[in-house]
Structure 1
Amino acid sequence: MHRLPAATLVVAALLSPFMPANAADAPREPYGIALEGYPYPYPVNLLPLVNDGEQLRMAYMDVAPNQPNGRTVVLLHGRNFPASYWAPVIKVLSEAGYRVVVPDQIGFGKSSKPMGELHFDTLARNTIALLDHLQIQKADIVAHSMGGMLAVRIARAYPDRVAHLVLTAPIGLEDYRLYVPPVPTEKILENEDKLTAEGYRKQLQTNYAIKLPPDQITPFIDARFNIKGSAEYPRWLRAFVSSGQMIYREPVAHEIPLITQPTLFIMGADDHNAPGRPNAPEALRPKMGHNAELAQALAAKMPNARAEVIPNTGHLVFLEAPQKYDELVLGFLKQ
């Protein structure tokens, strides 16, 4: 009988919700749109917030270090992933002495799904409000994918609050408006609603070049598609589509060279993710998503930055090459 490697089993256990032995035959109970029913690896707290007059609650994990070094790392998630996927990184950082704060941004994961539009400036203010609530004056930020765009806004708007910046396979290294024409929200809602679980799996494997075993991709699919049975699914879907429009309408590529904090890009060599590429004219699509090269070019323009490219990895670089990733992050944060 084929046995999975021990490391694979550990990661799967951290990422996967508990399922009974006969799960294949059992009907799925829908998750709530705040991922009720989907377990996180550490206790989840809720911070009340008001965005544009709407009362909301921001979910976050606050993980104490084993032997405190007096520093805090904030982990910022990507668009298609709940904050729970940071579980292996949380463990490594907390064992290295860091307090680790891991929010679900408003509109994502276990946080509220707002009626209004999402904006990076609002998410940045929310994140700083969380640090204020936790009485954290300055933190290191480690961000992934869309979280990288948010990290750029935080570093630019609140430079005194950020010590180090780690951008893990960030999107937003180019201005997608240069390639992709505007797409009406209603059209995107229609397309996203038609997406099937199997179609989403193919997206993760192709668009993101994810090199993980299928059982490690399944929790991400569950987190999204078990929500479709919720009575409030249309509100979740509108928030999710709003986040895509935010990525398109609010580029940060032009701000990245202005970042002065020590910055490390960690890129997967095979990650060519480019949001909106299917909507670009066919002739322009090959020009998009050269992310490793873009990161290297941007780092060269910055006063204190470098880019590391990990071969044979895709968009989920911290799960695909954990040993190398952890080594890079811990070494950088110690500088």
Structure 2
Amino acid sequence: MKKIYILLLVTIAFQFTNAQSEELQWLDIELANYEYPLPVSDITVNNQKQTLKMAYMDVQPDDYNGKNVLLLHGKNFNGAYWKTTIDALTKEGFRVVVPDQIGFGKSSKPDHFHYTFQQLAQNTKSLLDSLSISKTAILGHSMGGMVATRFALMFPDTTEKLILENPIGLEDWKLKVPYKPVEWWYKNELKKDYESIKKYQLESYYDNKWKPEYDQWVNLLAGWTKNADYEKIAWNAALTYDMIFTQPVVYEFKNIEAKTLLIIGTRDRTALGKPLVSEEVRKTMGLYSQLGKTTQERIPNAQLVEIDNIGHLPHIESFERFIKPLVQFLKE
């Protein structure tokens, strides 16, 4: 009887997931049919003999305190997932700027592009210059942490403070994971659908504990798979995987000048290339409960806030425990 009951639950869950997948909204390649939480503008950047559009939100508070915060998104996200953070920071008087990097969100998806963290940092600096912002705190999550690190190294005079929220790149995966060419990552991207994207986020981000509000972040990626131009999106995603894998920032943490805050959800196990290594090696990768402490030692003048039992997305999974130390650090 127990086996029959379990089988029934699995069947219902499968049918529900399939129904969700079938109802999934087709999304435009630049998310023209997806509304961000706040008004979106864009600037033109000229990169690699191309004219490209870089989208961003610039949110100014009613009672501006003279300080700015730049929010940099992760690889599987865009600026939209910063809404609660934007609301909290503007309430405290901060002006908040939230770009979508080239290849992400509402920004251009080039047919061909040499992705480097330097190029993304330079584009971000161009955005700040267009807004006449000469000083800002920079918060980067996941891949955005690698962009933020490179920005802080390239533009120390602009970077007032640096905040890294569960950044990837705290270890050099090239030392453990065999290299795979861009074409390999591209084929993997082409295989993605609603079910596989949700499975990855469920297991990797939320410790198999799903909440309805997480659905929107699955839908944003899965909606693209229904687009006839998905191959272009998948190709850009593959190029950014190669960038992440081949351009570590970990060896330069010692050169960061800005006062730094690390906010680390210690349950996180995110690491690039885990399927390519043995189980024994896999167990040594993405150990954020250790990586946070190691990184704090590497970055001069760094503080560490560990959030126990929280994974890769503290600002989504445990907002109050994330925002309190962030605001305190920004006001210091």
Question: TM-score with structure 2 length normalisation?
Answer: 0.90
Name the residue aligned to 1:118.
Answer: 115
Q: Give the Cα–Cα distance (whole angstroms) in 2 for the partners of residues 261 and 125 of structure 1.
A: 18
- Counterparts of 1:259-278 in structure 2 under 5 Å? 259-278=256-275
Q: 1:38 aligns with which of 34, 39, 44?
A: 34
Q: Match of 2:204, as an amino acid? A: N
Residue 106 (1) aligns with residue 106 (2):
no
Quickly say closer, same or farther: Cα 1:200–1:29, change in 2 above 3 A: closer
- When residues 195 and 171 of structure 1 are mapped into structure 2, their CA distance, relative to the original with a 3 A threshold, is same
Deviation of the 1:25 alpha carbon = 10
1:157 is matched with 154
Counterpart in the other structure of 2:277: 280
* Contact 1:277/1:285, CA 8 A, preserved across alignment: yes
Please report how far the alpha carbon of residue 198 of structure 1 lies from its aligned counterpart in structure 2 after TM superposition.
1.3
Task: Select the structure that is richer in helix.
Answer: 2
Residues 66, 96 of structure 1: 8 Å contact kept = no
**Where does residue 216 of structure 2 map in the other structure?**
219
Query: Tell me, which stretches of 5 or more residues in structure 2 are unaligned?
Result: 1-18
Same amino acid, percent of matched pairs: 39
TM-score of the pair, normalised by structure 1 = 0.90
Counterpart position of 2:92: 96
Contact 1:211–1:314 (8 Å) recurs in 2: no
In the alignment, residue 30 of structure 2 is paired with which amino acid? A
Residue matched to 1:171: 168
Q: Per-residue deviation at 1:244?
A: 0.8
Superposed, 1:182-193 pairs within 5 Å as 182-193=179-190
SS in structure 2 of the partner of residue 159 of structure 1: coil
Q: Is the 8 A contact 1:211 1:313 kept in 2?
A: no
Paired residues for 1:252-263 under 5 Å:
252-263=249-260
Moved >3 Å (runs of 4+): 23-29, 209-214
Once the two structures are superposed, residues 140-191 of structure 1 have per-residue CA deviations (whole angstroms, 9 ceiling, x without a partner) of: 0111000000000000011001001110011100011011111122222112
Q: Deviations over 1:171-214 (max 9, x none)?
A: 10001101111112222211221122112111112122357643
Kindly report the root-mean-square deviation, in angstroms, between the aligned alpha carbons of the 2 structures.
1.7
SS of corresponding position for 2:264: strand
2:238 equivalent to 1:249: no
Secondary structure of 2:113's match?
coil
CA distance in 2, matches of 1:60, 1:297: 33
- Equivalent-residue separation in structure 2 for 1:186 and 1:35 (angstroms): 25
Distance 2:21 2:262 in 1: 43
| Structure 1 residue 107, shift from structure 2 partner | 0.6
Conserved 8 A contact 2:21-2:195:
no
Instruction: Give the counterpart letter for 1:330 in structure 2.
Output: V
Letter in 2 for 1:120: F
1:58 to 2:54 alignment: yes
Counterpart position of 1:293: 290
CA–CA distance in structure 1, aligned partners of residues 297 and 265 of structure 2: 18
Displacement, 1:302?
2.6
Paired residue for 1:180, among 169, 174, 177? Answer: 177
Q: What residue is the counterpart of 1:5 in the other structure?
A: none
Residues in 2 aligned to 1:295 and 1:29: alpha-carbon distance in whole angstroms:
38
Deviation at 1:29, TM superposition (A): 4.5
Contact residue 63 and residue 100 of structure 1 kept, 8 A: yes
Is contact 2:206–2:311 with CA below 8 Å preserved after alignment?
yes
> Number of residue pairs matched?
313
